[in-house]
Chain A
């Protein structure tokens, strides 16, 4: 049974098309991430699920009931907002129980729920405070508590952590994950932070310009990006995109100092051959472009221009086919700037895109 089904949904504001043909189905208990750049329509989609925005075309189904014309109060959902949206005139207790009150839950029941939620989020000592007397992290906790109190069929989160400082963000991220594991309620979580997306999601929908570019598990998204946009959006440092000529089962790569015909695995070469265009874009993640370990036959000698130590890894910057690329190595083998180093390509993991359409070829 699908908790949430979004079928061919589009949204226009006046003349502008904000969302186009969105299709997502969510299983019970799933944690779905919507990720994408600012302005791509994530909040709009979430608001449509919540009933806060009208649906221009298509259908949204909750618990197998189409809800296009239902107001938020008729949908069994709760939402946590980026700027907390706590009612400033009510103390924490009243904030948490407001949704229950509006739904006619009696006083005793409400008190019990507030107690349970406060305990779960460790905010018992804050219950009598006003939102203005809370820190950012505490406010976000209360906002989550307000959603929890309702015990809805579906939680919606709209960038709930983007207002917190880095350390708190990591802590809260873990807590939300634990919460989900405990409640096993379906959640839709909007973020533009790819780490959040990767760590929290059962599945991720990568969005851009009003479309879902790819919907899949974090692994699928990372290892098998559907197009160049998804490949570039997920992963940090970003994937290297090297334009190159494909001929006879290999691609031609050149650094300022050397050239190499890199032989591709058979399956990949077949797909590229079938595609029929010689000019392609090769995508290689930095961790799949590393200093050669002895075997230099399939390596390209590259002058290292910049060395960036980050602690666990060191990144090396150089140019291949006149494009700046990043390679990753362990700090112990990091070379000095200016030295020339042979780099090898993990051809099994490399992906290829069409030059024009940016769609995945192989």
Chain B
């Protein structure tokens, strides 16, 4: 056979080409690595540094210790933002989990149109939070929205004016945010349910357990990892919440729906208080890190256990 074709053989390579071959893989990671070092880690350091200076309209390098944090902690608006975040965060996470788990269990009962329903439940996540804010602003509009609609049905005493009520406005943010994310949590739980071995359920039923009982004592406990990742996800989404509030209430009425993200933006970019904005951002990052901590610990533990076995 050798005579019928010329040997394709080996390819001679110049030293230059050889060097290129060796370096190309490394070189191709450089842009991303460098970008990450500068734009992520460099910027984190920079922001933390800014929070320790007395920067106002322009960034300065005058070290001011923790003064910005002190000022921050004396500002009522900051504490309003934090309190709002607490209310919003807790309700948002809790309601999303409740709706998500409930709908996932319902969907897991061999439902005929499951695909369709899932598509419908999930589409809000494809929308911009600004769009969500705009829609709910319209629905919650007291003079023409849902309140008006119910009143026009004859229930004239019906009142649902949270959007313009400083004490209740933060709850409208919860309503809109839950609408956006609960379908996603449903999908997460559904994926978790699908991962459970159905023979466990059958075995439990043969032992005489009723279906609700099986869910309560076997299935839901085994969804722990899903709860875990859903909570972490929702908490970090809550901490970063910005667009929705801007579009829905623009922080109002007054400051009644401010969140730390709005505080950071407003002080950092509108009020020329760069140091305060940086301090707020740093605290937000710390909060996310804190929320991640349980997951990191669990992961480390798992790794250690995995190694010791």
Contact = CB atoms under 8 A, between A and B. Distances in A.
A–B: direct contact at CB < 8 Å:
yes
B13 A103 contact: no
Interface string A240-279: 0000000000000000000000000000000000000000
Contact of B5 (A71, A74, A116): A116
Contact of B6 (A69, A99, A109): A109
Given A71-B13, A73-B13, A116 B8 contact: no
Contacts of B74: none
Contacts of A69: 18
A75 interface: yes
Contacts of A73: 10-11, 13
Nearest to A73: B11
Nearest to B15: A69
A71 B21 contact: yes
Main secondary structure, interface of A, reads: helix
Contacts of A120: 1
A151 B10 contact: no
B21 A150 contact: no
Nearest to A62: B10
Interface in A87-119: 99-100, 103, 105, 109, 112-113, 116
Given A69-B18, A71-B21, A113 B9 contact: no
Contact of B10 (A75, A100, A105): A75
Contacts of A348: none
B1 A76 contact: no
Contacts of A76: 7, 9-10
Contact of B11 (A103, A113, A183): A103
B21 to A, nearest CB: 6
B12 interface: yes
A258 to B, nearest CB: 49
A281 B96 CA distance: 73
B206 interface: no
Interface in B1-54: 1-2, 4-13, 18, 21
Contact of B1 (A75, A151, A153): A151
Interface in B267-294: none
B8 A150 contact: yes
A74 B1 contact: no
A151 B7 contact: yes
B8 A151 contact: yes
A70 B18 CA distance: 8
B294 to A, nearest CB: 32
A71 B18 contact: yes
A103 B21 CA distance: 16
Contacts of B8: 99-100, 103, 105, 149-151
B5 A103 contact: no
Contacts of A183: 1
A99 B8 CA distance: 9
Contacts of B6: 105, 109
Nearest to B4: A116
Interface of B: 1-2, 4-13, 18, 21
5 contacts: A69-B18, A71-B18, A76-B10, A116-B5, A120-B1
Given A76-B9, A76-B10, A100-B8, 11 more contacts: A71-B13, A73-B11, A74-B10, A74-B18, A105-B8, A112-B4, A116-B1, A116-B4, A150-B8, A153-B9, A183-B1
